[in-house]
Amino acid sequence: MNPTSSTVHSRLDLDPDTIAACRAAASDIADDVDRFVRERTTVAVERTITRFLGVDDADEDGTPLPNRLVDTLVDAGRLGDGITTPLVNAMRSLDRSAADVARAVTAGEVDLFTLPELPAHDIRDTAERLTNDAIATIRQTRNTRAERIARSTTHPDPLLYVIVATGNIYEDAVQARTAAIQGADIIAVIRSTGQSLIDYVPYGPTTEGFGGTYATQANFRIVREALDDVGEQLGRYIMLCNYCSGLCMPEIAAMGALERLDMMLNDALYGVLFRDINMQRTLIDQYFSRMINGLAGVILNTGEDNYLTTDDAVEATHTVLTSQFINEQLAFRCGVPPEQLGLGHAMEMDPTLENGFLLELAQAQLVREVFPHHRLKYMPPTRYMTGNILRGLAQDTLFNIIGAWTRQGVQLLGMHTEAMHTPHIADRHIALENAQVVMNNLRDIGDEVVFRPGGLIQKRAQDTLARTAELLEDIRRDGLFDALGRGTFAGVRRLPNAGRGLAGVASRSPDYYNPLETALRRALHLDG
Amino acid sequence: MTIHGRTGATPPDLTSVRPYGDTLDDGIMQLSFSLPVPFGDEAREAARRLLLAMGLEDPQIYHAADLGDGYTFVIVYARTRATIDFTSIEVAKVAAPQRSKKEIEALVAERVGRDIVVLGACTGTDAHTVGIDAIMNMKGFDGDKGLEAYRGVAAWNLGAQVPNEELVARAIELDADVLLVSQIVTQKDVHKVNLTELVELLEAEGLRERLLIAAGGPRIGHELALELGFDAGFGPGTRAVQVASWMVDELIARGLVERTPHGRRSS
């Protein structure tokens, strides 16, 4: 797939052949990952299947039943076979639902691996019927969103995105509603710090979190209902965003598909680099989670913006573009179309840098032109936010100017209180007002003002693109795992057998059975 | 202390200092806050009375905005009559002379004669490494090299979300001289819990007196760090060179230069 349209004139005078070469290299890199992933599964992938089959709930210690079930699979040394066959076998043998089987297994009343084995075709009939029900549910949720958006009023891009992060889901819902009233289009509920490293999804509504609120299915539902309610009053569909990243990528994607989240952070590379999650584990998890996002119509967001919080924001912009090319191809292989691809990038240069605005503008326009149909997510200054809220507001204003000028898809609004506290209710108001003033005043500036041919902005963008092409060739030669081992991205080095979660990976046995993946592939028009 | 830049104007009375808006001792302050009440005249009046209840005078509600769903934001100016005796103020500060990187390296070579082993980490669930990276990593921040770049310093940046137990285990394994702990997330005082736990673990292992521990972050001050049982606290804007100067001084002053391994390696 090559979404670059030759009819679009490049304001940066970019060489289309270089862009095509970048895509070709990234495509090979993604194929490499694709081959690796298809031969493996993980505990998180198998837990996701149990959720779609109807397993929910947690035991008295708070351990979710999907974990309890898949733990028995791991204990039996049979993770490589997948959970579907033993689970459906138990459902058929005992004539009980998946949820009942899970409770019985948890109570020690049933052992999945000592029950008589029914004929394979019996199991497959039932498994495929349940899987088709799950696919139908995802499709129905997607249709509900489409109907609501069709009734909704819109405004020109970028969409305005703000976060809530109180730690208490009910307080989050209050702040989400006020943000929507103030003009936000997208509300992201930030997760409690540390959730990405726990190998289960907490259960039920939560009111205690640090720097954010736990992602649970009940919490998703609470904020979804609040936003639907306020959206009806406003005549606008308010999007809800949460995070798939971490050790539970596909499970959270499943919860998002069921509870009609509209946007989800979904980036294995982010987990590898910034959370030290094992790269094998998370790339396998990502694959399944992106297929679910893809079918659910969820816009996925990638986290390349973060590279510039640790690496040099002037020197390392080509690593952002490189990673975006790779992430695009990885997403295409999961059936995610460009319109659902929120590739991330950021304005993170030192605000005292002379002509820094011009360099940032060049980068934002470069990403816009390379990914013309994508719902790009532009991230605000964080690294040089200081507690001087008035200078911070100036930085955020410059950021908003670039977002308007280069027509980003999503503008994650900067908070002048960044680096101080999670946003106060009035911080979002100030940020939204700032964005509305800037964006309205500059609406068509990108069409009216051209960049000087051969000037600083054009040259900067062309140079970054050329460096990106070189780096992609290197990674094509050595592979993505090697690139991560060298510290190519974010200046962080990670090794294939290090990091969290590797124990939850298994090679697929000849008996591996995952009808959900097969159904997702069919629904997404992916090859077998 | 002399006050510059007020030639011909009345000097402030440093025993009785008040905010300066546009004239000495006018006591004017700017405030902004939100109230959980519906926007309107009553909300403005509520804000005004709140300021009066705080002891502020002449509150001017210059801006009020409807945040929706029964919340109101205000921007206010008001006067205070409160004063502060500036001459009586003493603040706990990390006492280390300003030195350059070269001077510190020379001091280590001369007085320590071996590498100082420094471990840096964001502990607990904290995932924000910008601060610890600026102090530890080669590149440092804004032209000030990090500890990895120092001759005579063996710097290990353990990164984000390091459990306290793991930090202590690594400290034993690597015979650490100094632990630097970064804490950004402070919601519900999680940083205090986390830092206290580290001190307790070190005490339990019998290591507390054998190494230096310092905390850093936007909400960390020297005084708070001392209260929590740390040796130093470094607030926002701290440079690697300040941390380096402190730790060398302190290791020498405490006689921690001569050392025996912490245990595990020798046993």
Of the residues A305, A311, A396, A427, which is catalytic?
Answer: A305
Between chains, do A420 and B126 touch, taking CB under 8 Å as contact? no
Is residue B185 within 8 Å of residue A211, measured between CB atoms?
Answer: yes
Between chains, do B69 and A386 touch, taking CB under 8 Å as contact? no
pLDDT score, position A528: 59
Query: Would you list which residues of chain B are within 8 Å, Cβ to Cβ, of chain A?
Result: 32-34, 65, 67-69, 71, 73, 124-127, 129-130, 133, 137, 139, 142, 159-161, 185, 187-188, 190, 218, 236
pLDDT score, position A386: 85
B137 and B28 inside one domain: no
Residue B157 identity: N
Q: Which of B73, B137, B142 sits opposite A426 (nearest CB)?
A: B73
pLDDT score, position B3: 58
B121 and B212 inside one domain: yes
Is residue B249 within 8 Å of residue B220, measured between CB atoms?
Answer: no
B63 and B146 inside one domain: no
Is residue A123 within 8 Å of residue A277, measured between CB atoms?
Answer: no
For B132, other C-beta atoms within 10 Å of its C-beta total 27
A486: alpha, beta or left, given left = phi > 0 and alpha = psi -120 to 50? alpha
* Cis, bond preceding A158 (omega within 30 deg of 0): yes
Instruction: Find the range with the poorest average confidence among A239-253, A359-373, B79-93, B249-263.
Output: B249-263
Give the residue numbers spanning the domain of B235. 101-253
Distance from CA of A135 to the nearest CA of B (A): 36
Q: Please state, rounded to an integer, the average pLDDT across all residues of chain A.
A: 95
- What confidence tier does B77 reach under pLDDT thresholds 50, 70, 90? very high
Instruction: Name the closest residue on chain A to residue B73, using Cα atoms.
Output: A426
Q: Is A155 on the interface with B (CB under 8 A)?
A: no
Q: Active-site residue A511, yes or no?
A: no
Question: Angle at CA B220, nearest 5°, toward B215 and B224?
Answer: 90
Tokens of A14: 């970019």
Of the residues A270, A378, A512, A513, which is catalytic?
Answer: A270
CA dihedral A256, A257, A260, A262 (to 10 degrees): 70
For the purposes of burial, counting CB atoms within 10 Å of the CB of B8, is it exposed (0-12), middle (13-18) or buried (19 or more)? exposed
Q: What is the DSSP letter of B231?
A: S
At which of B89, B109, B126 does a domain end?
Answer: B89
pLDDT score, position B131: 84
Q: Is residue B32 part of a domain?
A: yes
B105 and B84 inside one domain: no
Under 8 Å CB pairs connecting chains A and B tally to: 73
Residue A309 has pLDDT above 90, yes or no: no
Residue A21 identity: A
Of the residues B101, B139, B145, B192, which is catalytic?
Answer: B139
Q: Is A194 on the interface with B (CB under 8 A)?
A: yes
Helix-strand-coil split of chain A, %, nearest 5? 55, 10, 35
Q: Is A356 on the interface with B (CB under 8 A)?
A: no
Q: Which of A177, A421, A491 sits opposite B69 (nearest CB)?
A: A177
Distance from CA of A436 to the nearest CA of B (A): 15
Residue B139 has pLDDT above 90, yes or no: no
Q: How far is the C-alpha of A343 from the C-alpha of A320, rounded, in Å?
A: 10
Residue A506 has pLDDT above 80, yes or no: yes
- What confidence tier does B258 reach under pLDDT thresholds 50, 70, 90? confident
Of the residues A377, A384, A396, A427, which is catalytic?
Answer: A377
Is residue A58 within 8 Å of residue A203, measured between CB atoms?
Answer: yes
Percent of chain B at pLDDT exceeding 70: 94
Chain A interface disruption, residue of B74, B139, B187, most A CBs within 10 A: B187
B217: alpha, beta or left, given left = phi > 0 and alpha = psi -120 to 50? left
B33 and B128 inside one domain: no
Between chains, do A181 and B130 touch, taking CB under 8 Å as contact? no
- At A139-158, the pLDDT tens digits run 999 999 999 999 999 999 99
User: Helix, strand, or coil here: A105?
Assistant: helix
Tokens of A335: 């059936």
Q: How far is the C-alpha of A416 from the C-alpha of A139, rounded, in Å?
A: 40
Chain A interface disruption, residue of B69, B142, B158, most A CBs within 10 A: B69
Domain holding B19: CATH number? 3.30.30.60
B83 and B162 inside one domain: no
Higher pLDDT among residues B141 and B206, named by residue: B206
- What confidence tier does B261 reach under pLDDT thresholds 50, 70, 90? low
At which of B39, B56, B89 does a domain end?
Answer: B89
Residue B138 has pLDDT above 50, yes or no: yes
* Rounded mean pLDDT, A254-259: 97
- At A372-416, the pLDDT tens digits run 999 999 999 998 998 899 999 999 999 999 999 999 999 999 999
Between chains, do B126 and A193 touch, taking CB under 8 Å as contact? yes
Q: Parallel, antiparallel, or unpaired for β A505-507 and A40-42?
A: antiparallel
Is residue A271 within 8 Å of residue A250, measured between CB atoms?
Answer: no
Q: Which of A386, A424, A429 sits opposite B65 (nearest CB)?
A: A429
B34 and B83 inside one domain: yes
At which of B66, B89, B112 does a domain end?
Answer: B89
Instruction: Name the closest residue on chain B to residue A423, using Cα atoms.
Output: B187
pLDDT score, position A525: 95
Q: How far is the C-alpha of A124 from the C-alpha of A109, rounded, in Å?
A: 25
Measured CA distances, A105 to A98, A202, A325 (Å): 10, 19, 45
Is residue A186 within 8 Å of residue A160, measured between CB atoms?
Answer: yes
Residue B1 has pLDDT above 60, yes or no: no
Q: How far is the C-alpha of A157 from the C-alpha of A439, rounded, in Å?
A: 9
Q: Which of A181, A419, A429 sits opposite B73 (nearest CB)?
A: A429
If we measure between CA atoms, which residue out of B66, B80, B81 comes closest to residue B34?
Answer: B66
Higher pLDDT among residues B260 and B63, named by residue: B63
Q: Which of residues 487-516 of A touch B (CB under 8 A)?
A: 491
Measured CA distances, B17 to A27, A475, B10, B23, B89 (Å): 67, 63, 13, 13, 12
Q: Active-site residue A377, yes or no?
A: yes
pLDDT score, position A492: 82
Q: Is residue B210 part of a domain?
A: yes
Q: Is A429 on the interface with B (CB under 8 A)?
A: yes
Contacts 24+ apart (CB under 8 A), A385-390: A385/A414, A385/A416, A385/A418, A385/A419, A386/A419, A386/B236, A387/A419, A387/A420, A387/B218, A387/B236, A389/A416, A389/A417, A389/A420, A390/A416
* Rounded mean pLDDT, B64-79: 97
Instruction: Name the closest residue on chain A to residue B64, using Cα atoms.
Output: A426
Q: How far is the C-alpha of B20 from the C-alpha of B13, rounded, in Å?
A: 12
B49 and B109 inside one domain: no
A257: alpha, beta or left, given left = phi > 0 and alpha = psi -120 to 50? alpha
B35 and B164 inside one domain: no
* Rounded mean pLDDT, B54-65: 97
Q: Is residue B178 part of a domain?
A: yes
Distance from CA of B234 to the nearest CA of A (A): 15
Q: Is residue B3 part of a domain?
A: no
Instruction: Find the range with the poorest average confidence among A45-59, A146-160, B118-132.
Output: B118-132
Q: What is the ipTM of this complex?
A: 0.89
Q: Is residue B96 part of a domain?
A: no
Between chains, do B34 and A210 touch, taking CB under 8 Å as contact? no
- What confidence tier does B196 reach under pLDDT thresholds 50, 70, 90? very high
Q: Is residue B260 part of a domain?
A: no
Domain holding B162: CATH number? 3.40.50.280
B67 and B108 inside one domain: no
Q: Is residue B262 part of a domain?
A: no
If we measure between CA atoms, which residue out of A332, A340, A306 comes closest to residue A320?
Answer: A306
pLDDT score, position B64: 98
Residue A5 identity: S
B144 and B183 inside one domain: yes
Q: Is residue B2 part of a domain?
A: no
Chain A interface disruption, residue of B67, B132, B190, most A CBs within 10 A: B67
CB-CB neighbors (< 8 A) of A180 in chain B? 68
Q: What's the full length of chain A, in residues?
A: 528
- At B5-30, the pLDDT tens digits run 667 788 899 999 999 999 999 999 99
Is residue A375 within 8 Å of residue A341, measured between CB atoms?
Answer: yes
B137 and B192 inside one domain: yes
User: Helix, strand, or coil here: B218?
Assistant: coil
Residue with tokens 């353990």: B158
pLDDT score, position A516: 97
Between chains, do A312 and B67 touch, taking CB under 8 Å as contact? no
Q: How far is the C-alpha of A506 from the C-alpha of A135, rounded, in Å?
A: 25
| Number of structural domains in chain B | 2
Instruction: Find the range with the poorest average confidence among A269-273, A438-442, A491-495.
Output: A491-495
Q: Is A387 on the interface with B (CB under 8 A)?
A: yes
Distance from CA of A319 to the nearest CA of B (A): 17
Is residue A68 within 8 Å of residue A56, measured between CB atoms?
Answer: no
